[in-house]
Amino acid sequence: MKLSLIIVKSFIAILISYFSITQASAQGKDFPNKPIHLIIPFAPGGVTDIGGRYIAQQLSQKLGVEVYAENKAGASGNIGASYVAKAEPDGYTLLVGFDGTLVINPHIFEKIPFNTMNDFSPIGKIGDAALILLANPSLPVKTVKDVVTLSMKEPKGLSYATSGIGVTPHIAGELLKQNTRANLVVIPYKSGGQALIGLIAGDVPLAFTNLAGATQYVDSGQLKPIAVSAKNRVSSLPNVPTFIESGFKDISVMSWIGLLAPAKTPKPIIMQLNKALNEILNSEQTKEKLNGLGILVTPTSPASFSDEMKSDLELYEKIVKSAGIKAP
């Protein structure tokens, strides 16, 4: 009797597994057959928005269905990310994920409406985006060392603008402080674009921001570039040194952006989207376009992207705790 019961249970388990695989395969085979919504969890204009919109256009051509880029900004990206986390796991609602939202926010917000590793299915990384330290042209500095020296002479310190508390540019500023004892004071704005406007107007003397939104202001002479956070110089601003070149080997911070789906999205759909994304990223047109924005394309597998997210969660937890960063 016991043996018969075990056999029946095993047979039922096999049937369940078979039908689950068959259903997932069917979903993957029919996908996509309607428009896809690509959620960008920030306002227009930043590196996540610019990069995400370009990928949406390319995916539309590659998949043969319209891929709509839709901004759902707020709470440092938490609103848009939460929207995707709660969406139907069918591949038709995707997220342009930003490291600040997914691996830094969990450590600075007391409560967060999603769990990074449990609520998303990583599809693949789009690329790593360089950060840049900028100065208002009136500030008497040319190098990172000038900035550090001047900040130490200012009793109240030098303020630097960022796109918010706990975002990657803020982390870069904290790393600069921790490695040099520079007297820097963060001034959070609601977006990178607003931070740059404040810097141009002279409301703040410095800003850490993503390179993508800053290039035009550097080219026009409205802002003074100090250094970029990449390991090597970026093609869009070849005359701007890196922090490493400037003598600060521990200041190498990159923001990444990637593509994610809600958790439990069928694996065949994830792999189909990963294949399409990587084909786009490997094209010379995409490399040239994104490199011009300061984004180094980095095609990955879903598993590799997931491992990097997990590693970054642990890395930024230490940095955030050391700096005592908390969301307002």
Q: What confidence tens digit (pLDDT) does each residue in 89-98 have?
A: 999 999 999 9
Confidence of residue 45 (pLDDT cuts 50, 70, 90): confident
Only one residue has tokens 């994830």, namely 270
The CATH number corresponding to 28-129+255-323 among 3.40.190.150, 3.40.50.720, 3.50.50.60, 3.80.10.10 equals: 3.40.190.150
Task: Report the range out of 40-54, 216-230, 284-298 with the highest average pLDDT.
Answer: 216-230
How do residues 286-327 score in pLDDT, each as one tens digit? Answer: 999 898 777 889 999 999 999 999 999 998 898 898 888 888
- Interatomic CA distance for residues 318 and 53, integer angstroms: 32
Mean pLDDT of the chain: 89
Mean pLDDT for the stretch of residues 172-180: 91
Pairing of strands 224-228, 295-297: unpaired
User: What pLDDT sits at residue 16?
Assistant: 55
Predicted confidence at residue 142, as pLDDT, reads 97
DSSP 64-78: SS-EEEEE---GGGH
Model pLDDT for residues 251-277, shown as the tens digit of each residue: 888 889 999 999 999 999 999 999 999
Q: What is the mean pLDDT of residues 177-188?
A: 93
d(CA 33, CA 20): 21
Q: Which two tokens stand for residue 116?
A: 């990074």
Residue 144: which of 252, 241, 253, 254 has the closest Cα? 241
Torsion angles phi and psi, residue 254, rounded to 5: -125, 140
Q: If residue 254 lies in a helix (H) or strand (E), which one and from where to where?
A: strand 254-262
The pLDDT tens digits of the residues spanning 116-170 come to: 999 999 999 999 988 999 999 999 999 999 999 999 999 999 999 998 888 889 9
Per the CB < 8 A criterion, the answer to whether 127 and 98 are in contact is no
Which pLDDT belongs to residue 235? 82
pLDDT at position 283 is 96
Average pLDDT for 36-48:
87
- pLDDT > 60? residue 22: no
- pLDDT tens readout for residues 65-115: 999 999 998 888 999 999 999 999 999 999 999 999 999 999 999 999 999
Place of tokens 């043996």: 3
Q: What H or E segment, with its residue span, contains residue 200?
A: helix 192-201
pLDDT band at 24 (very low <50, low <70, confident <90, very high): very low
CATH number for the domain whose boundaries are 130-228: 3.40.190.10
Please answer whether residues 222 and 137 qualify as being in contact, where contact means their C-beta atoms are separated by less than 8 angstroms: yes
